[in-house]
């Protein structure tokens, strides 16, 4: 199955069902089920942005947990799975910033993430 490496906190938000769009500058080579790989770096600016937008993104119920795990994210690991339902260039989702959005459905967070070295873009994973 293919995987996509995504920085934290975005990977956590996706597999826990909060973030329904993944923004990219390149089209997806496929739709369907993928592994969500948490990359080795954290998007600290993204975390600051989340704190400022927690109400408009309906994140107030998970912010305490996000802040609690902020210093010890799962990184360089496969943290779950999600379906790419389709690819769009326009969306009403508050998560869409474009230019291309992968519309995500059916997230699954793993209780025990799997250590795995990631790559840029989509990459094949054999588990």
Predicted confidence at residue 75, as pLDDT, reads: 87
Domain 2-124 top-level CATH class = mainly beta
Q: What is the pLDDT of residue 70?
A: 76
Structure tokens at 57: 């993104």
For the chain, what are the domain ranges?
2-124
pLDDT tens-place string over residues 39-94: 998 888 988 888 887 777 778 778 888 777 877 788 899 999 999 999 999 999 98
Nearest to 19 by CA among 78, 80, 96: 96
Percent of the chain with pLDDT over 70: 98
Mean pLDDT (whole number) for 4-19: 94
Mean pLDDT throughout 117-123?
A: 88
């Amino acid at each position: 199955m293919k995987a996509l490496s995504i920085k934290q906190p975005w990977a956590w938000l996706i597999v826990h069902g909060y973030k329904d769009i993944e923004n990219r500058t390149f089209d997806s080579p496929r739709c369907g089920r993928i592994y969500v790989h948490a990359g080795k770096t954290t998007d600290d600016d993204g975390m600051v942005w989340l704190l400022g937008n927690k109400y408009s993104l309906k994140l107030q119920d998970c912010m305490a947990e996000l802040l609690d795990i902020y210093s010890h994210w799962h990184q360089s690991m496969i943290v779950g799975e999600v379906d790419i339902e389709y690819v769009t260039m326009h969306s009403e989702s508050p998560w869409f910033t474009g230019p291309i959005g992968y519309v995500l459905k059916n997230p699954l967070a793993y209780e025990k993430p799997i250590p795995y070295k990631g790559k840029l873009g989509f990459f094949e994973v054999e588990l």
